[in-house]
Structure 1
Amino acid sequence: MREIVFDTETTGLSPKDGHRLVEIGCVELVNRVETGRTHHVYFNPNRSMPSEAEAVHGLSAIFLSDKPSFADEAGALLDFIGDAPLVAHNATFDFTFLNAELEQCGLETISLTRMIDTLAIARQRHPGAKHSLDALCSRYGIDRSHRVKHGALLDAQLLSQLYVELTGGRQIGLSLRSEPAAETPSDMCATTNPGWRTSRPVRTPRPHMASEEELLRHKAFIAKLADPLWDSTA
C-alpha cells in the first residue's frame, strides 16, 4: 500500500486570517517502508512573514521572495501524492492549508477521508502523555538531534518513522495476521520464533539437598570448632 507522509510550514495559524502555505515536504511509503522518493517545495506566499512564524521555521520573506507560487507547483505536488492516503501530525491543520491553497487555484480539494492523523493515533495509544513530534520521537528513540527548527521535509521524514512505530513498529512485516496491528512483546516473540517454547533441550533437574555423605562431613567439621557462638551449652 502506498502512503504519503507530509508536513507543511505556513505564515500563521489559519487561512481565514490570510495566512499562506510556504513549504511542503512529502515522503513516500510503500507497505510502511520509505522508498526514498520525496517531494519538497518552498512557496512564495506573496505576503509578509510574521516574526512569530519565522521564529518557528526560519523562513524569511526575503528567502521566499524568489520561490515559485503554490499555483506554479500545484500540478507537480498533486502528481506526487496521487490518490494515496495522506499522513500528517495534527493533520487537520495541514489539510486546511493545503485545501485552501488548492481552492484558491481553482483546483479540486483533497477529501478528508484520505487523512491519517498521527496525533489522534498517539493520543489513543498514550493517553495523558505529551504528543508533540519531539516528545513522541523521544518516546520511540527516533533521532531528532539535527532538528534545530521546524522544516517540512525533515519533519515529514521524522514523522514517517514515528508513523511506522505507532502502527506496529519494525515487527509489522513479521505479523501472521491478515490485518496489521500493534504487536505486544509476547506477540513479537511468538511471531519471530513460533517454536520457542519447545526448542529448548530438556535438562535433568539438579539436586538441591545435601547428600548423606555431605551431611556427615559437615557434622565432622562442626565438631572441630572451639567455642562456637551458636552453642549456648559450651
Structure 2
Amino acid sequence: MINFPRYSFASLFICLIFVGIVYPFIPKLVTQNILLKASFSILLVSSVYIFSHNKKALVICLLLAIPTAISSWLAIIRDVPEIVLILDNATNVVFFLYVIFELIKIIFSASVVTRNIIYGAMSIYLLLGIMWAFVYALLDLLIIDAFGGSSYQSAHDLSQFIYFSYVTLTTLGYGDMMPLAGPVQSIAAMEAITGQFFLTILVARLVGMHISQTTNGNG
C-alpha cells in the first residue's frame, strides 16, 4: 500500500520551474553557477521533504541527498579534479532517478485526480529533464567529443545540458547542440522515447482516473 504525502507537490514543481525555465534568463555572471548550485540544493531539500510521510523513502532519500549536496558544492571549486565532477553528476543521476521512481509510485497508485496529483505528474516530467541533463554532463566528461554544435561550450556548463535535455525530452530538436558519439546518441534517443511514453501513459492514467472519479460521483 502506498502512503501519500502530507505536503503538496507544488513547492517541488516551483523549484523545478526555476531551475529549468527561469534560471537561463539570469545573466552570465560569476555568481550564476553558485546560484544554480543553490537552487539545486533547495530542490534536494524539497524532494526529501516530499517523502517525510514515508520513513523508508525518507531515509533512502537522505542517504542519497547528503553526498549529492556535498559533491555539488565541491564541484564549483576552481581547478577541482575531474573525478569530483564525475562524482557530482553521478550522485545527482542516482538521487533524481530515485525521486522519480518514488513519485511515479505515488502518482500511479492514486485513484482520484487532485490538484496535488497534477502537480506531481508535472514534477515527474520536469525531473526527467533534470536527471537526463546530469546523464549528459557525465557522459561528456567520460567520452571524448561527445557533443558538438554552435550551442555547445564545455562539460562544466550544466545549463547547456539542461537545455539540451528538455529539447530532447520534448522531441523539439533545434540542432544547435547535438550528440556526436554513438553511445550519447543512443541515450538521447532513449530520453526522447521515454518522454513520449511518459506523456502517453500519464494522460491515459489521468483520464482513466477522472472517468472513474466522475462515474463514482454520479453513482
Shared fold, TM over 0.5: no
Structure with bigger gyration radius: 1
User: Which structure has greater helix proportion?
Assistant: 2
TM bucket normalised to smaller: under 0.3
Length-normalised TM-score, structure 2: 0.28
